[in-house]
Amino acid sequence: MLSRPSTPCPDLEQDNNHLSRDPMEDLDTSPEAKGHRVVVFPEEPNIWIDNLPFDEVKRQFLAGEDGIRKRVEDTIEVAEKWSGKPDAWYLRHIWHREPRGIFTCACPIHPFHVRYYSYFDWSLDDPTRLYCRLCQEEGREYPYYPNPRYPDDGDGCFPTDEVWREDHDEAWSRAHDGIPWDHWDGEAHGYVEPTNAFYFKALCWMNTFRALAGNVLHRLGEACHYAAKLHEDHERASRYAHTAKVILVTLSRAFLGDPYLSALLHISETGLQEELTTFYRGDASSTSYPGFRLYAAFDHIEGDPKRPLNAPGDRYGTKGACIYPGLWNWKASETQDLMVGYGLIAETFTETEANLKAIALRIVTSVEGDAERLQNSDQILKRGILEYTLHPYTLVTGADNLSTSTQMPGLQLGRIAGDHQIVENVARDIVFFLYNFFTGDGLGKEGSPSYTSWGIASVMSACQGERVDSDRPCPYVNPQTSSIDLLSLPIFKHGLGQFLLTGFPNGRPVTWEDCVIRAAMPLEPLALAEKLGGGIPVAYRPYLDIDLDREPAIYSKLPMTLPSHLLGQNRKAIVRSGEAKNSRALSIDYTERVGHYHMAPLNLSLFAKGHELATDLGYLGSTHFMTVDWIKTFPAHNTATIRAEDGDPMGTDNLRGDLRYFVDMPGFKSIDVAEEDASELAKIPGTDRYQRTVALIDIDSQDTYVVDIFRLNGGHLHDWTFHSNGHRFQTEGIERLEQPDKDESLYDYSGFTFTPSRRTKGANAKWGSERVTELSVGKASGTWTAIWGDVTEFPDEDGKSEIDSDVFLKLHMLDEPGSEIITGTGPAQRWLDNRDLGEQMRIVTVRRSETENLDTFVAIHEPYRDNPFIQEIVRLDAGASESVALKITHDRGVDLVISNPERESIRVSDWNLNLQTDGETAHASYDDQGLRSLSVVGGTIARSGDHSVVLPASIKGQLTDYDDVKKSLLIRPDAVVSDPESLGEQTVTVRHRERGSAYTISSAQNNPDGTCTLNLEGFPHLAIGYLLVTGVEAERIWVEPPPVIQGKETNLNIFRVEPSRNLSYLQQFSAVTTDDILDERGCRIRTKHALTMDDTGSLAPGDEIALSPLHPGVDRVQIIQSSSWTRE
């Protein structure tokens, strides 16, 4: 089982009566009483250098191994440099004020270029200055900050309006999103918006803290052991150790404060200063440290009248505040630095330095009895940074995409402390993480390839081979060696393989949702699977170039020729055709509203002719104003919006849809997604339809086009939007109307008055359609076209672009009278490093007013090189009200396409060409020799001339069981499946209470009892999460790790995991409740999670449960069949 540790874990076996307390109970209850557990450090922690115990380092050194000898030499060189500085230098640069500006600081002259992610140049050799490389290139008098024009005494820089006017002008304002040039508007305009000052000095201190606690402290600590134990040079070892102790003791003083430490040690502040004077060498005794106040990541701070905690805009408040800087992942890194640093030098403290050793430890962790030591003082217990980050005796790697940042520090903690329970718990936590956060599609549950934590593989590799004292079977232990083996887990290897299938031909993942454009395939984790995990599964090897004698050992075979692929759990579909340089990919994203989602229901992306043509902009960061105000909004996507009279998109972003069918046939691929959840449709007045049908149709091995049909109704206005990658833009067939002013936005032109619920709070914030300007307005009553050309890429960090002038994307819109066609310009930046800062794109909006009839947008997307190949598109009379029939004439012949959601019997003809079907979609292709292919999806038949394709009826039935180990569904069809072998590669959809699921079938077989087993392709997670029960009450169970629930939680069911790994239904999912463990000042240490249950009597601590949308005996299944004929 996943759940049971090899030895009882005290934190999991505790009395859970306290868990029924009100989460807002007072702070008199200690964290320990609620389950918090302090790690006990040994007097002499184990010494590890990176991933090696010191004994192994010594063995390699004495054996003369070049790598380790070079490392020792380099480390001692660094230690010589930093031990040569006087103690006073360290006290001067370890500041007594809180580090701020981490995410918000920016260059006042170049705020979009020089800020978080593309930061100032800084060095510990010149630690009080932040250098702007652009200011340097421009030859400014002061290319560094703070400076006489932009001073900062520690509370931040507040530029004067006079200085601001001298350094800025109107052109600068236009180039910087309208930031005022004639006065400072009170914001830094850094990566995080807004903040109230430029915290230059505080950021210098933050950089100093990270450098000292990390590289400098570690190299000094390592060099101390190298000098003493490898070279027997105890004088140098003592010198290195002293400087390391100066750093760690002084950092602890800065964070915790001298008054606190003197109270803790039961000595007066004067006595503490006397002891420190003896410790520090030279004139270094005058510095005192009051200790840091509570502050939050985005510069709110306890007692600051201008930016206090719990003020408007403070998203963290006291619970999320801390005396340690940064967000959770930063704190984990800082914990690792301080913890490893302490472990390296703990044994060097002498008996007379016992108080100094105690001080050094307290920045890492408090010690049992500290609260009692403070009872007769005015001080409140201050806990070490480790206590807010690692929680090594619990399962914590749950819902957050960055939560794995705690696992490598956790592993190192277990090694340093010599606690095998911590080490094994890291492995156990990772297994739960793979089953909870990841999906069977190889992505995280947030859906973005960028936010898929395959970096966890480095921790898995570090754990590999660790001995486990257990004879009990568990998935992370190799029974032959009794050691941890995570890299062989099928869930790991198949997850990596499935991630490969999310790629564009250029080797980058499709930029769904918040995926940065620089995202890459997980080749390093794949190399680990190949080298140490028993090999990459056969199914994924054709897409990789593998050579274990080379470094790196694995490359993607570019251009990647991948198969069509359904991401059933992440709710995305990709159809592909062509090979090598002619590979193309069309995707529809119908993801739930999960973490990092965009307002982009049924968003379309297209890759062809070597480029991403119809794009999703991706991501610039969750708090980047361009992400919040533009990239996530409707007009930035290829989708359709239902608007109220005031322009509000109402609940359109809730209409995520369910897959109806996914079909891949030779020359014809199709996806159909529709919102069928009545509760979501009801959120928009008058809406009962929101459906997109697309088809990728090949005319030969080189060229393809896309049929794109969007059906919707309701609301007041319907906006269909589309954009492509290209600097050149032209339209034909549009009658131009009166043109708006160049600077008028789409929002203002449209007369919109709504206020978006989420936007950057700032005087100049522009959201969505407010960012579309340079409008041109027209109308058309028939087919019109728009062409994007000069496709632009930015492969180099220096911002130099590459333009492919031979590639185009042509939009053919089969429009209707009454449509308004609005073209405009909007932001197109995609690179986080600003290499494409200022890029613009042309956006087409087709706007129609709601009528009583279903609104159907019909478009053809034609990617081509040099010359277009489509000659004419005609919409034919299909008879049925919702059906669309098209005749597309191109250089290779003529195609007839029918989209027929009502499945009426339809016949269309044009001259001697005809197509008849009762299917949902049908396609017939003709050349000068006659019919060359015929395809149909759904229904029973498609016929053209003398040729026909006959289908068996769609299979419907009930889900009766599922097996998450064998990856299969058991269904009871309404009628016997006559040919189960034909179901291979077909798609099965499962309808739940709300929403649905979809899976690709690999094979099927009928069973004697009338059921049918569907074996599924890939490695789908049929149970989307597994949880360990840690406490049981009358109406709820406490669980670990934190549940990962994305999308509609009301769609889930709870199952008990039996010893056989079979799942037994318990009840429908109800709700998650939480209980914060708070420290003595009300700051969150961690959060416990519970599931509400009707009956908990059958569960006990140590049991395992699973969550799944599948509900055997209730859910209905459907397999819409498809078939095709191709002339030989």
- Judge whether 786 lies within some domain: yes
Read off the pLDDT of each residue in 719-729 and give the average, rounded to a whole number.
96
CA 1096 to mean position of chain CA atoms = 34
Closest CA to 649 of 602, 709, 692, 601: 601
Confidence (pLDDT) at 285: 67
Assess if residue 570 is contained within a domain: yes
Q: Answer yes or no: is 379 within a domain.
A: yes
Q: How far apart are CA 96 and CA 286, in angstroms?
A: 13
My answer on whether 593 and 688 are in the same domain is yes
Of 881 and 932, the structure prediction assigns the larger pLDDT to 932
What per-residue confidence (pLDDT) applies to 314?
Answer: 83
**Do 791 and 666 reside in the same domain of the chain?**
yes
Average pLDDT over residues 399-407: 78
Lowest mean pLDDT among 147-161, 409-423, 475-489, 758-772: 758-772
- Do residue 90 and residue 149 come from a single domain? no
Query: Among 484-493, 514-523, 953-962, which is the least confidently predicted range?
Result: 514-523
Confidence label for 761 from pLDDT (cuts 50, 70 and 90): low
In a domain, 876, yes or no: no
Range of the domain at 1011: 955-1020+1117-1123
Looking at the predicted structure, is the pLDDT value of residue 346 above 60?
Answer: yes
Per-residue pLDDT at 18: 33
Is 904 a residue whose pLDDT tops 50?
Answer: yes
Last residue of a domain, one of 488, 523, 556: 556
pLDDT at 284: 73
What predicted TM-score, i.e. pTM, was given to this entire model? 0.93
- Whether the CB-CB separation of 778 and 737 falls below 8 Å is answered with yes
Same domain, yes or no: 850 and 825: yes
Domain boundary among 509, 532, 556: 556
- 678 CB-near residues (< 8 Å, 6+ apart): none
Asked if the model's pLDDT at residue 1049 lies above 90, the reply is: no
806-838 burial code (b ≥16 CB/10 A, e <16): ebbbbbbbbbbeebbbbbbbbbbbbbbebbbbe
Query: Per-residue confidence at 539, pLDDT binned at 50, 70, 90?
Result: very high
* pLDDT at 14 exceeding the cut of 70: no
Instruction: Write the CATH number for 969.
Output: 2.40.30
Q: Residue 411: pLDDT above 50?
A: yes
Q: Of 198, 225, 249, which marks where a domain is finished?
A: 198
Count other C-beta atoms under 10 Å from residue 228's C-beta: 18
Query: Is 16's pLDDT higher than 70?
Result: no
Residue 372 and residue 265 share a domain:
yes
**Residues 6+ away with beta carbon under 8 Å from 555:** 523, 544, 545
Q: Is the pLDDT of residue 25 over 70?
A: no
Closest to 1040 in 3D by CA, of 1063, 1074, 1065: 1074
pLDDT at site 44: 96
The answer to whether 39 and 187 have CB atoms below 8 angstroms apart is no
**Does residue 631 surpass a pLDDT of 80?**
yes
Which amino acid, one-letter code, is at 989?
T
In a domain, 275, yes or no: yes
527 and 591 both lie in a single domain: no
The H helix count followed by the E strand count for the chain is 23, 53
Structure tokens at 457: 């593989």
Q: Are residues 241 and 164 in the same domain?
A: no
Digit-coded pLDDT (tens) for 430-454 = 999 999 999 999 999 888 898 888 9
The answer, yes or no, to whether residue 7 has pLDDT greater than 60, is no
Mean pLDDT of the region 826-852: 94
d(C-alpha 186, C-alpha 661), whole Å: 53
Q: Is residue 736 part of a domain?
A: yes
Whether residue 20 has pLDDT greater than 50: no
Q: Is residue 933 part of a domain?
A: no
Of the listed ranges 310-319, 509-518, 861-870, 1072-1081, the least confidently predicted one is: 310-319
Mean pLDDT of 103-108: 95
Tokens in use for 316? 């963290």
* DSSP-derived secondary structure letter, 22: -
> Which CATH number belongs to the domain containing residue 676 in this structure?
2.70.98.70
pLDDT of 23 > 50? The answer is no
| pLDDT at residue 518 in the model | 86
pLDDT, tens only, 650-681: 999 999 999 999 999 999 999 999 999 999 99
Residue 17 has pLDDT above 60, yes or no: no
Beta-sheet pairing, 728-732 with 717-723? unpaired
Say if residue 810's pLDDT is above 90: yes
Residues 180 and 323 in one domain: no
Could you report the per-residue pLDDT of 973-1030, keeping only the tens digit for each? 999 999 999 999 999 999 999 899 999 999 999 999 999 999 999 999 999 999 999 9
Looking at residue 764, what is its pLDDT? 67
**Domain shared by 152 and 252, yes or no:** no
381 and 493 within one domain: no
Give percent above pLDDT 90 in the chain: 85
Nearest Cα neighbor of 98 from 315, 312, 302 is 302
Q: What is the mean pLDDT of residues 747-751?
A: 97
**Spatial separation of the C-alpha atoms in residues 691 and 681, rounded to whole Å:** 12
Which tokens hold the place of 303? 């007692």
| Structure confidence at residue 648 (pLDDT) | 96
- Counted domains in the chain: 5
- Of 290-294, 858-862, 908-912, give the lowest mean pLDDT range: 908-912
Domain co-membership, 588 together with 476: no
Give the pLDDT mean for 819-829: 96
Task: List pLDDT tens digits, range 1070-1110.
Answer: 999 999 999 999 999 999 999 999 999 999 999 999 999 99
Q: Using the predicted structure, report yes or no on whether residue 286 has a pLDDT greater than 80.
A: no
CB 1105 within 8 A of CB 1056: yes
The 10s digit of each residue's pLDDT in 482-491 is: 999 999 999 9
What local confidence, expressed as pLDDT, does residue 762 receive? 65
State the pLDDT at residue 817. 87
Asked if 749 and 783 sit in the same domain, the reply is yes
- Residue 816's pLDDT is 85
Instruction: Examine residue 983 and state whether it is found in any structural domain, yes or no.
Output: yes
Q: For residue 312, name the pLDDT band (cuts at 50, 70, 90).
A: confident
User: Among residues of the chain, what percentage have pLDDT more than 70?
Assistant: 97
Q: What is the pLDDT of residue 77?
A: 98
Residue 763 in this model has a pLDDT that exceeds 80: no
Q: How much is the mean pLDDT over the chain?
A: 93
Give residue 283's pLDDT.
80
On the question of pLDDT at 30 being above 60, the answer is: yes
Mean pLDDT score, 689-716: 98
Torsions phi, psi for 482 (to 5 deg) = 50, 45
Least confident of 201-210, 280-289, 746-755, 889-898: 280-289
Residue-wise pLDDT tens digits, 34-66: 999 999 999 999 999 989 999 999 999 999 999
The answer, yes or no, to whether the previous bond of 1041 is cis (omega within 30 of 0) is yes
Output the CA–CA distances (angstroms, integers) from residue 22 to 12, 19, 310, 1094, in the order listed: 21, 8, 22, 20
